[in-house]
Each structure stands twice: as C-alpha cells, then as structure tokens.
Structure 1
Amino acid sequence: MPRRVYSERLGEIGHDQFEAAVQRLGLGRFLGAEPITSGLFGQNVFVTTSEGKFVLRGAPHWVKGAGDEEYYQEDRWQFTKERYFAQQLHEHTNTPVPWPMLHDQSNDIFGWPYLIMPRMPGVSLDERTVLRELAPADRRSVAAALGRNLAEMQRLTSPIAGDFGVESIALEEYPEGAVGSIAREADTFVQACGDRITLDEATWIAAAAAVAGGDGLITYVHCDYKLGNLTLLHDGGEWRVSGLFDFHEARFADGALDIVRVACGYLDSEPDMARIFLDAYGKGIDPAHLTLYVLNDRLKIWSWFTHPDHADPRLKGLTFRRWAQRYIDGLLALI
C-alpha cells in the first residue's frame, strides 16, 4: 500500500491505515489524502472518501497540569475537549462548526487516537493573503463577518468559568474565576520568559492584573480566534464565516478574550478594519479586563518568538512593554 509523510508530527501514513479508519467510523471507501500546509502543529490531513470530504486530526498534544514541570502524554485530553466544545456550539448556536466530529480513542491504526470531521466549505486566509487577494470592500466585509460570528459564538454561555482538567478529562471550574485565571496564566508566561521580561515589566503586568476586577458574563471563548482557524465564503454579495475549527484552547470565560487576536492582527496590517470588526461584534468591553487580556495574549507570542530556538527578528531590539503598549493603546482607543 502507498505510504506518505503528511507532516513531521503525523509521520508516514499508509492508504491502508486511512482505509481502516474511515471504515471503522462508517465514512465509506477511502479515495485519497492530501497534506494541509497551514497550521502550526501539523495535526491535520485532508481525506476524501466515497461519502465526502473530511479532515483527519491526529497525534494529540501532550499536557501539563498546574503542578507539573514537564509535559506528559495524555491522549484523551485534547480531542475529548475539542469534541465537547464543537458539540456545544453546534447544539446551542448557529456557529458553523465541523459536526459530527467522530472520535476514535484507540491507537491501533495510527499509534494515536484521532478525530475525523467534515471539511468546512470556503477559503482559509491569513492576515497576509487577505490583503493580497481581496479588494478593500471585501476586506471590510470579512472584518464585519468575523465580528458577527464572534458574537454568535458567545450565545453559548456557562454558569461557571472553566476548562477541561488534564486528569479528570472533564470541565472543571476555575477556582479564581475567569479574570483570575487569565491573571494566573499571564504570570505563568512571565515566569517562563525569565530575563526576557524585566522586573519593571513584571510589576507592570501584575498591577494590570490586580486592578482587572471580577467576572462578568461567562461565555464560550475560542482563545485562538483568527483568520487562520476559520473558513470564509462569499455568499449573497457579502462574506460570512463558513467554518470554525481548532478548539484545543477553548474554554468558558470572558468573551472579550476573543477580540484580542483578531483586533491586534488588524492593528498590525490594516488598522481601520479593527473598528469594523469591533462594531460588528457590538458588545461592551471593560477597559481593565481588555488591558489584562492584551497583555496575556502578547505574552504568549513574546514567550514563543523571543525564545532562542525560534526567535523572530522583528522583535529584536524591542522590550516587551514597548512592543505590547501600542496594542493596548490601540484597542483601548477603539472601545
């Protein structure tokens, strides 16, 4: 049987393995597979069967609990969590998610468990390709579509703020609440950065967390809501979000968390679109919460892209505060 490497993470996979997987899940006869070049982790493969077009997602992330120093293998966590949040969105909102999301928890076919889900219609763009391929009017329509879709996602609410526990593999409440959990997460990234965050910067971040206050309405939060994790379709003279995926960071928290990644991307590439996005979203945002959420999001990026193993030359010579402050100022000016 033909074999091919579909990504460094997934390794070499044979047609017989794909055939076994789709037959087990009742998806017809295997016809073909193609690698997906986008995405940071290389977990996904396009699969075509006699029943349609699908995405296979495999090799789940390892996990690290609150008291753990190292990541360890726990194959149940990522895909159980992703399926849960996709199902909740499917059942309680009109958000276009890949459903049904079929989960085979055994590892006898590939060496790891996997999901198979429908391939969502439309095109997948990022901040660069949307500028290159779409006219200004289309880009404005896309920005508005992102805001409307975000508001629709947040029709899914919860009585508690929380995430899936890495031991229980079930939804667990944050003991410190939604805002407190982000303050804790930000401090974790500060510690991970070491001397790439100065003492003055750490004090500044801690002060922002201290004044952020308590929780408001708790909604679904994707935590990586951006162009690269959705598909878009031009329909009836305007653009709409036609698919949302990659739920591995999803949780229940303050919905304002999800404006940050898109809005900061627009501040970098086309600032006028940030206003269109936020107007279409149409919800009030607490300035103190937003400041903390921007800091936390930028810390994630700073932690990764200033690390010696994958340093981004665009950040060379900058301090964290100098780099992050313009995003805080830019978003606060828009709300």
Structure 2
Amino acid sequence: MTSKIIFASNKLGTLEDQQIQDMLNKFNLGKLVSFKKTDLGAMGQTLFVTSNKGKYVFKGNPLYEGQLIEEKYFIEEMDKRTDTVVPAPYIIDDSNEIFGWSYAIMPKLEGEHLTSEILKNSLKKEDKLKIAESIAETLRSFHEWRVNEFGELNVQDFTITPFRDSYPKWLFNRIRYWLDDAKKYSKISNQDIAWVEKLLVDSEESFTAFSSPTFVMGDFKPGNFLVDGADDWKVSGVFDFTNSYFADPNSDLIKMITYYTDNDEEELAKHLVDTYFNKVENKEDIIKRLKVHMLHQRLLDWGSAKATKMVTWDDELPFSMWVKAYTDLIETIVE
C-alpha cells in the first residue's frame, strides 16, 4: 500500500478557525490559539496547531484509504517496542463532518530539524558525531522488529501482505518501472539501462540469500526526525510513518548517507554506518544491497527532479554516471 505512493499529494485546502476549534472541542484539546502549515510537510497534509492546552500536529485528507490507520499502528508499535519518542497518542477521526475528510491529531514533538539554521550555526563536530550515533541507534532499535515475511501492512487485519513473487523481484521491478518512467522526462540511454541491469544482476544473489525482514521506516530523513541537546545530543523524536513496510532494514540508511555526503560530511556518514553495523565482519553482501537501495532512491530523486525541472546538477550528465558516484561511495563508507 504505502510503497506505491511516491509523488501523490492531497492538499488540505483553506481551513477556517472554526473548523480547527471544532476539532479541538471534539477531543477536549483546548481553545485555539493559532495554526499554520508545517514548513517541511512535502505532501501538504499537515498543520501545526496551538491551543491553550498544548501544541499539536494535524494531518488530514489521506493520500489513500487506510493511510492514517496504518500510521497509527506503526507509531503505537514503535512506542511499545522502542525508547524513541513518537507522536503518541495518535488520534483519528474517521468522520467527514468537520472537514469533509478524515484526519489525525497528535502531539507536536520537541526538538529541531537537523537542517535548521539554529543547528547549522551552532553544532560542533563532536555534537554532529553524537547525533550520527543516535540516528544509527534509533534505526537499529526500529529494525529489531523482525518478521517472517517481506511485504506491506494489511490494515484490515494488521497482518503482512507479502510482495508479489518475492522481495528481490518486487524491488528490481520497481527500479525498472521508475527507470522507464524517467524516460518521459530525461534522456535514459541504452548504456544507462545496461549499467542498471548489471548492478541488479551483481546483487541478486545477496538479496535472494537475505531472509531476515524487519520493519523499515521507508523515509528516514532530516525532515522526519528532530534532535535535541538538552542533556546530550540525540534524536528527540521521529514521525511520519506513511512509507513503512517490512523488508531489508539497510534501505533506511540511504537518505542519511546521501544527506551527509551531499553536505560534504562523509565522515559523519561513515560514523553513522560504523555505529549501525557495529563491527559486522562480512560486509560484501551488505555493500551489494546498499548499492541497489542507493540506485533505487537516486532514481526516484532523478525522476522527480527531471519531471519538475528542479535539476541541481549538470543536465547533460548521463544518469548512470550521476548515480554511480553515489553507489561507488558505498564501498568507501562501508569498510
């Protein structure tokens, strides 16, 4: 379910003060002080709401049937299974009486985004290293939720719906689908396709041999977690579990590896990876799978950038050359 949603977006539209107050009244959450759209809400579904009783995040107009139910389930599981702070309680109103669509209301978490100007101008190197460690430890705690099948959550009975055929086939076909889609917006040559196919072939055995699926957040990036240094620098909260499923946990590392390396902080990427794997001896299979996960993510980024014409790199640079710089980086970081 969630993994099929890539670029879809339902907006909240214009909301009135009285609608927000009606929502607060329904759950005894106080008198409205203010509300505004969140700065990093890419899907346009979220608002910050402040009342005289507290600060909340409002999420509405679901992208697909079951989105809020699914996210509530994952948040409640993370709240039970880990020490990570998540937005619980996650309250859902399935009725359409106030806004015309269902919505959720949850507590606003404390902390700052890693990308905030406050942190960019104040963090020291040792602070950044501690944050990288905390990110790794947070992901490791998420990935302790081990399951028996690769797949997605069925919100009807909260079982896992297995991927069609197998996880490797699902992943590889997904990559081929988005590579073909990228042809609509950019030049994808036969050489690019051959390079992708070789990478998939080289990794196939590693994926086939991997038989320990875990919970995967699916979108672990600076926009979806907060950090705080009140006691010691660490991840202070994680939210947005809309893209979660059950598969190879290593895929959750990709967006942070990319973020650090794009900001010339390769040392932090390496420190995060070293902390996460904690002296794993045989990393050959891990490297092969990480390269494919990097290809997958960078392909989505490439297609989105080309489709929206928000290209920030040389427009003449071939796709395979562009993404190869990232896949090659995996070998440097995972030693």
> What TM-score, normalized by structure 1, do the two folds share?
0.86
Relative distance call for 1:218 and 1:8 in structure 2 (3 A) is: closer
Which residue of the partner structure matches residue 23 of structure 2?
21
Asked if 1:189 corresponds to 2:183, the answer is no
Shift in Å, 1:86: 1.1
Query: 3-state DSSP class of the match of 1:327?
Result: helix
C-alpha contact 1:306 1:312 (8 A) present in aligned 2: yes
Amino acid at match of 1:202: I
Deviations 1:118-175 (A, max 9, x none): 1111112328775444222222222122111111111222221111469999741113
Shift in Å, 1:196: 3.0
Which residue of the partner structure matches residue 3 of structure 2?
none
> C-alpha distance in 1, partners of 2:163/2:118?
38
Shift in Å, 1:46: 0.9
C-alpha contact 2:78 2:142 (8 A) present in aligned 1: yes
Which residue of the partner structure matches residue 224 of structure 1?
219
Deviations 1:199-248 (A, max 9, x none): 22222222322333313321111111111110111132x21111111111
> C-alpha distance in 1, partners of 2:119/2:132?
10
> C-alpha distance in 2, partners of 1:223/1:171?
16
> C-alpha distance in 1, partners of 2:10/2:168?
37
- Structure 1 stretch displaced more, 15-24 or 309-318: 309-318
Which residue of the partner structure matches residue 200 of structure 2?
209
- Structure 1 stretch displaced more, 266-275 or 27-36: 27-36
- Structure 1 stretch displaced more, 142-151 or 279-288: 279-288
> C-alpha distance in 1, partners of 2:127/2:134?
10
Q: 1:290-301 counterparts in 2 under 5 A? A: 290-301=290-301
Which residue of the partner structure matches residue 228 of structure 2?
233
Which residue of the partner structure matches residue 90 of structure 1?
79
Question: Which consecutive unaligned segments of at least 5 residues does structure 2 have?
Answer: 1-8
> C-alpha distance in 2, partners of 1:182/1:19?
44
Residue of 151, 163, 179 corresponding to 1:162: 151
Aligned residues: percent identity?
25
Asked if 1:319 corresponds to 2:311, the answer is no
> C-alpha distance in 1, partners of 2:99/2:295?
39
> C-alpha distance in 2, partners of 1:110/1:261?
34
C-alpha contact 1:212 1:292 (8 A) present in aligned 2: no
Deviations 1:292-319 (A, max 9, x none): 1111011110110012x33314242211
> C-alpha distance in 2, partners of 1:190/1:249?
20
> C-alpha distance in 2, partners of 1:47/1:203?
50
| Matched pairs, number | 314
> What TM-score, normalized by structure 2, do the two folds share?
0.86
Question: Which consecutive unaligned segments of at least 5 residues does structure 1 have?
Answer: 1-6, 62-73
C-alpha contact 1:127 1:227 (8 A) present in aligned 2: no
Amino acid at match of 2:306: T
Shift in Å, 1:107: 2.0
C-alpha contact 1:131 1:139 (8 A) present in aligned 2: no
Which residue of the partner structure matches residue 247 of structure 2?
253
> C-alpha distance in 2, partners of 1:316/1:166?
42
C-alpha contact 1:28 1:51 (8 A) present in aligned 2: yes
Asked if 1:266 corresponds to 2:277, the answer is no
Deviations 1:1-34 (A, max 9, x none): xxxxxx9922211121111112223433333213
Query: 3-state DSSP class of the match of 1:57?
Result: strand
> C-alpha distance in 1, partners of 2:73/2:238?
14
> C-alpha distance in 1, partners of 2:21/2:62?
20
